[in-house]
Every structure is written in C-alpha cells, then in structure tokens.
Amino acid sequence: MMRINFTTKALRSLRSTKFLMFLSVLSVLSGESNGQQAVKISGIVKGVPPQSIMFKQDTNYLNIKPELKEVLLDGSDFSYEFQITRPGPWELQCNDEALQLFIEPGDDFSVEFVVGTINKGTTFKGKGDVHNQFLFEFYNTFKNEYDTAQTRKNILDATSVDEFEIALYNSRKKQKDFYTNYKGKEKFSPAFNQFVENLIRYNYLGSLVAFPIVRGNNSANTVVGALPEIMLTEITPEDGKNPTALKGRYYRMFVYYYTIYSASKNNGFNKFVDQGQSLEAKYKAARDFFETKAFAYFLAKFLLENCGKIPQATLKRIYNVLAAEDKQGFYSSLVNERCGEFINAEVKKEDKKSATIIAGQKPVPVGFTAKTLEGKTVSLDDFKGKVVYIDFWASWCGPCRQQFPFAKALKEKFTEKEKKKIVFLYISIDENEESWRNAIEKLEIHGFHTISPGNWSSEACKFFKISSIPRYMLIDKSGNIADENAKRPGDEIIYDDIIELLKQ
C-alpha cells in the first residue's frame, strides 16, 4: 500500500513530483506508458476528518488486489496527483463510506464532503466535475436500484416475475429521463455517456436475468424458473461483444447471471447436481455468447468461487482454456494464486472419470433422418460403431463459416486410423438446396454432408431443439448423445473429447 503525506505546500510539490516519477517507472515496466495523462484530485473533508482517505480502482473486476492509493490529510485538506491511460470508475473511501467517481485523463477537480454524510452534501468543482456531480445525484436518486442487497430482496419478495420486471422497466425509464434531461449533459464526454448508458442498460438486464437464478438458489426445488422469452428479446449478440462495458459492475453482473441462466436453459432448467457438469455447462454458455474479455472474466470468477468443489481434471481443463484465452495472464495468474493447490494437485482416478464425457448420456431422438448430397436418406443409426461429431449449420450463417477453417485443422490432428472411426457429420438447415451445395463447394467443407431443409422449422431443429447455430453435438459409438452442446472446432478441448469417446 502506498502512503502519500502532504503537510506543507512545498512538501506537497516535492512528494507529488517524486510520486509521479515513481508511477512513470511502474508504467514503463508494465508497458502502459503510452497515452498516460496526469490527473489531480484535491478536496476538503469536513466534520471530524480521519488521518487518511483511500482511492480504489478494481483493476481486475474481481475485487482481488484492487489498486489502492492512501492519501494522508493535512488537517482537513488533501491533494492527490497520479497518471492514468484511460477513463473509468474509481471509488473514494473515507472510514466506512464510499463515493463513486468517474475519472478521465486530464481531470483536475476538487471535492468537498462531510464525514458521516458523504452521500448527502458532496460537491465538485473543476475539470471533470460535471461527470462526478451527475453520478453523485444519480446514485442518490436511484440508490435502491443500485444496491445489490436491495435488488436481491426485491427479487425474493416479488410475487411474480411480471411484477418484478414492470418495476424494473419503470425505474429504467426514470433513470433514462434523469440522464437525458440532466442540466449540463452537453458537457459529458463520449466515454462518460457510454459508461452511463451501459450502467442503465445492464442494471436492468443484469437484475432481470438474476431473478430466476437468485430465486432458484433460494429454493429447494430441483428446477430453475424460465423467464418469458419476450423479456429476453432486448438481449442481442452485441451484448456479448461489449468489452468496454466490463469496467462497469452491472455489466459484469449481467455476464455472470446471463451465463448461468443460459446454462440452466440448455440443461432444461434443471438444477445441476454435479459441480463438474455445472462448470462445463457454464463454460459452454459463456463461450457461445461472450467474446474474449467477458468470457475470461466469467471463467475466472466462477473458478475462484468454486475451485475447491470442482473435480480436479475438469478444473485443470477449464483453467487451461482460461490461460489460453488470457494470454497476458491477467486472470489466470490470480486464479492460479488462489486455486493453485487444487489446479496443480495430482488428479485422482475418480476425478478423471468424472471429467470425461459420459457415454450414453442421452438417447438420440428416434426417427430423425436427413438427405445426403446424392439424395439418399440417412439416420444416425447408420453411423453406429463410430464417434459422430455433428455440425449444425446453414449457408447464411456467418459464425458457422468462421469455424470451418478450425474444423479442417481439427480433422488433420487425427491419425488415418482414428479418422476411420470418426464421422464429421454436417447437417444443414438451409431452405434452398442449391445454396447448400454451393456453400459446400465454395467453402471447401470436407465431411459427410446432409440437409434437413426448412431453416428454424427443419426437422433437425425440432428433434434436437436447436434455436441457434452453429451448434455442435457428439454421438458416442453406441449411438447415444454424449454431449448435446459440444465444443466448437476452434476450441482445443474438442480434440480431447473426441479421443476420449474413441477409447470407450
């Protein structure tokens, strides 16, 4: 922890200079020297000032080893200078109170507050004051909506999801009106506008998808309640591709609960009884919706919360995925530090078994058939004795096309002997056969090709309950579904999953 003490103006100047030099050295070592700008925050603490206040930034979004800067007061005054590279939220802590701030490179403002009432009469002046004055007034106006304990109570007290959602919706409208009509909004920076818009959007969406999970965890029922689909229509693929929103804790709440909700949905809204299977399901749900930063954040958070409960082999596999995604070690180093004793422990024999795909998990729906390029009809029974890796796709599906190069590379990993025991089965749901055939030729897709025409009304979608593509599935040698949400070709673990089924 760094202590900064200002007792005279001369000492302030001297120590500020030394502190900036020290930060510059740290920034060079960390590779973040480009684009840094100075920030200065000063202020007056009224009432009975403590000896120091604290500035905090949750740099890894997990509240583990947050950046903490302690500033000693000179009587009731303080002044703090530092450098940052990008705008974002900070927290000023005084005793057991906290004031939410938004700080941008180049900010130079003062804050005045009274100890014990920091969230009642605080004022800001200077460059950056309009952002922080807005946040102060916004959080005071909507303090119940941004209190996680209160949100949880509202979820448990609600008589129905409709009642809860209506209250959420009405509150969001008031928040939007407050933001839109705020005096001085024209002075908001683009970064701050985006921060507030994300704050309002993901407070609503995060609270909504938390509803069935919080209630499910608080109930002895073996199922999790499903949200009406109409309530989820506002969630789009773009919500999984919003890395700048990750700095806001309500987007992180959305990432966490939406992943768990999606995993529950894929499990028929049945609660998981095995932590290993639970992690696998949540891993797949996060992977299928969120891009790298949010995906890595979720894996890290879930592993940190549950590493002592997850079978060792499964824990190792998912940790290796995290390490591969998190190339700079931003999250993997924290997880290894906290969970290393579990990750690096010798894998027990029973854990190896629980971490592998369980053959015969679910029978294939009876009667499903598809048409080949030659016009013949085939069923999955025709492939018994072999491991089948199914790729549900369509010529109009962009994410499907992105995976085809990975599929080609995956096939090349297997020996000729292994290839004879594997079927790479492509099932297209295209409406038009010509589009299907042209795409196979143009994209050079190699495998066993079939079509189940009709787009979302196709027999394939009905039989396998498919609502999005690409979708992948693994069938074991006995003809049973081993994994109905198999990993993508681009996921290195899929190779191990197929090899495991070949051994069975």
Going from the N-terminus, what domains does the chain have, and what CATH number goes with each? Answer: 2-141 (no CATH), 144-270 (no CATH), 272-276+288-355 (no CATH), 362-503 (3.40.30.10)
Give the Cα separation of 69 and 56 in Å (integer): 7
As a whole number, mean pLDDT of residues 419-423 equals 92
- Look at phi and psi of residue 22 and say left if phi exceeds 0, alpha if psi is from -120 to 50, else beta: alpha
Q: What percent of the chain has pLDDT over 70?
A: 89
Task: Choose among 470, 494, 485: nearest CA to 317.
Answer: 494
Q: What pLDDT does residue 132 have?
A: 96
Largest CA distance in the chain: 89
Question: Looking at residue 229, what is its pLDDT?
Answer: 92
The amino acid sitting at 147 is: D
Peptide bond between residue 399 and the one before it cis (omega within 30 degrees of 0): no
Q: Which amino acid is at 259?
A: T
pLDDT of residue 31: 36
Q: Which residues contact 284 (CB under 8 A, 6 or more apart)?
A: 263, 266, 485, 487
Contact 477, 384 (CB under 8 A): yes
123-127: strand order across its sheet: 77-84, 37-46, 108-114, 123-127
CA distance 53 to 384: 69
Q: Does an H or E element contain 266, and which? A: helix 249-266
Distance CA 233, CA 309 (A): 34
> In the prediction, which pLDDT does 365 show?
52
pLDDT of residue 221: 86
Lowest mean per-residue pLDDT among 3-7, 55-59, 100-104, 106-110: 3-7
Work out the angle at residue 194's Cα, subtended by the Cα atoms of residues 192 and 200, and round it to the nearest 5 degrees: 105
448 and 424 in contact (C-beta within 8 Å)?
Answer: yes
Quote the CA–CA distance of 393 and 428 in Å, as a whole number.
5
Integer Cα distance of 209 and 392 in angstroms: 27
Owner of token pair 């396998």: 464
User: What span, in angstroms and rounded, lies between the C-alpha atoms of 74 and 176?
Assistant: 40
User: Looking at residue 346, what is its pLDDT?
Assistant: 65
Count Cα neighbours of 75 within 13 Å in the Cβ-side half-sphere.
6
User: Coil, helix or strand for 186?
Assistant: helix
Single-letter code of the amino acid located at 466: I
**What is d(CA 171, CA 173) in angstroms, rounded to the nearest whole number?**
5
Whole-angstrom distance, CA of residue 271 vs CA of residue 168: 26
Copy the structure tokens of residue 42: 């000063």
Distance (Å, whole) CA 504 – CA 501? 5
- 392, β-bridge pairs: 427, 471
Average pLDDT over residues 331-345: 86
The continuous run of DSSP H or E covering 441 comes out as: helix 433-443
Residue 4 has pLDDT above 50, yes or no: no
Answer whether residue 260 shows pLDDT above 70.
Answer: yes
Tens of pLDDT, residue by residue over 271-294, are 888 878 888 889 889 988 998 889
Instruction: Tell whether pTM > 0.75.
Output: no
pLDDT at 3: 37
- Look up residue 447 and give its two tokens: 């495998």
Residues in a beta bridge with 370? 378
- Assigned token pair, 68: 């903490």
Residue 491 CA: distances (Å) to CA of 238, 284, 312, 324, 484: 21, 10, 20, 10, 16
